[in-house]
Structure 1
Amino acid sequence: MEASAIRAAIADAARVVVLPEGIPKLTCTGYVPDAVVAPHFFCGEYTVDYDKAMGRGLDVVELTCRVLVGRADDRASQRTLDSLLAGSGPSSLKTAIEAARGAPGDYALGGLAHDLHVMRMQGYRWYEHNGVDFVGAELIIKIIGEG
């Protein structure tokens, strides 16, 4: 699996979320950006467990992604973040990203991986990114594919 291509495909999948009226469109990158236009989703750190099957047959990646929302209004910002972190619905990042799994029997992310799963949300808190404060959280995504 090529990390850059996987991260770009995850960002592309996240772009399809539909935020409530009046909320700016979610911007997404497959890398850690210098500056963030909120609300913003990006792929950050990742770990790779190599050789989970013989002959470089399978690697397992855990990708940490962050979603950051501007803090013009504390309550409204957290409502927006909550809608992005919901387990389902049109604003759900989990739903949008897992849709990139493809149909049963298909490879995920347009053939880049065998499968993926948004495992958990963590770190719901205030984040500083390049000197600007945001409310945000992390999504941990498990991706499996050929080594």
Structure 2
Amino acid sequence: MQISLVRDAIADAARVVVLPAGVGKLQCLGFTPDSIVTPVFFVGEVDITFDKTMGRGTDELMVTCRVLASRADDRSGQRILDALLSGAGESSLKQALEVARGGPGELALGGLADDLHLERVAGYRWYEHAGASYIGAELAVKVIGDGRT
């Protein structure tokens, strides 16, 4: 798998979420930015397990993504985050990533991977990024694909 392409494709998949009225758009990035405009979703760390099958057949990526919302108003920031972390609905990152899996028999992320799965959300807490604090969470996304590409 080409990691940079996978990172960008995950961000592209998240871009389809629709935030509550008056909030604006979710900024989605396939990299960890120096500075941010909230709300933001970005792909952070990538852990790689090579050779899940023999002959370089399959590699597994565990991708840590973060979603951060403004703390200017604690309640509204947490409501935005709640909508993004819900299991379904037009604001759901889970639902957006499920669409990126493709249909039965299709490859995920537009052909870049065999499959992906948002496994869990953790760390619903305050995060510091570039010297400022934000309410946020981490999303663990497992991506499996061809180790020979």
TM over 0.5: yes
1:6-63 Cα deviation digits (max 9, x unpaired)? 0000000000000010112100100000111100000000111100111100011100
1:46-85 Cα deviation digits (max 9, x unpaired)? 1111001111000111000000001111011101100000
TM-score (norm 1): 0.99
Moved over 2 A (4+): none
Aligned partner letter, 1:146: D
Aligned partner letter, 2:4: S
CA distance in 2, matches of 1:32, 1:130: 11
**Partner residue, 1:108:** 108
CA distance in 2, matches of 1:91, 1:97: 11
**Partner residue, 1:134:** 134
Aligned partner letter, 1:90: E
Shift of 1:142: 0.5
Q: Does 1:32 align with 2:32?
A: yes
Please list every run of 5 or more consecutive structure 1 residues that lacks an aligned counterpart in the other structure: none
3-state DSSP class of the match of 1:13? helix
Aligned partner letter, 2:105: G
CA distance in 2, matches of 1:10, 1:51: 22
3-state DSSP class of the match of 2:55? helix
**Partner residue, 1:3:** 3
CA distance in 2, matches of 1:17, 1:132: 25
CA distance in 2, matches of 1:25, 1:92: 13
Q: CA RMSD in A?
A: 0.6
Please list every run of 5 or more consecutive structure 2 residues that lacks an aligned counterpart in the other structure: none
CA distance in 1, matches of 2:94, 2:44: 16
CA distance in 2, matches of 1:100, 1:123: 24
